[in-house]
Amino acid sequence: MRVAVYPGSFDPVTNGHLDIIARSSRLFDQLYVVIMQNPQKKNTFSLDERVEMLKMVTKDYNNVGVMAQMGLTVNVAKELQASFLIRGIRATMDFEMELQQATANMALAPDLETVFFVTKPENSFISSSTVKEIALNQGDISNFVPASIVDMIMEKYR
């Protein structure tokens, strides 16, 4: 069974994230979307809100599970018996950071493969930070996040 983990903060989940989830779910028997908790990172949405949003937008995928974890991603993958880590790359800047992380993960868990998905052009400029900035200024985020969570995000900024 091919098991993969797609880690991230998902603060909030975007159409870019959802595209990678959809594409990954077709390649793997089981995909775990894991919200990795980083105590040094200030998140806008609570852990419960992020889990709720991810569960809402992935409800139609039978082989996708959503959870939150702490610690090293490689340890989470090992606990879930995953052999693959999923990462998305939007630009050169992402590639450099992701390559560094993937190399560190190889040293920690040589049997864990990192699989990179190149973001589709229509999602290449979307980031959670961009979505939050637009929402903060009461802009229209409907082209950047799944429709089912637009109101939940905008409510945070009212």
Q: What is the pLDDT of residue 19?
A: 97
The question of whether 148 is a catalytic residue gets the answer: no
Q: What is the pLDDT of residue 158?
A: 86
Encode pLDDT of 4-31 as tens digits.
999 999 999 999 999 999 999 999 999 9
Quick check: is 90 catalytic?
Answer: yes
State yes or no: is 26 an active-site residue.
Answer: no
pLDDT < 70 positions in the chain: none
Give strand pairing partners of 118.
89
Nearest Cα neighbor of 72 from 111, 116, 109 is 109
Residue 86: Cβ within 10 Å count: 25
Q: One of 17, 50, 87, 132 is an active-site residue; which one?
A: 17
Strands (DSSP E) found in the chain? 3-8, 30-37, 64-70, 84-89, 113-118
Catalytically annotated residue among 90, 120, 124, 156: 90
3-124 has which fold?
Answer: Rossmann fold (3.40.50)
pLDDT attached to residue 94: 85
The predicted structure's pLDDT at residue 103: 96
- Predicted TM-score of the model (pTM): 0.95
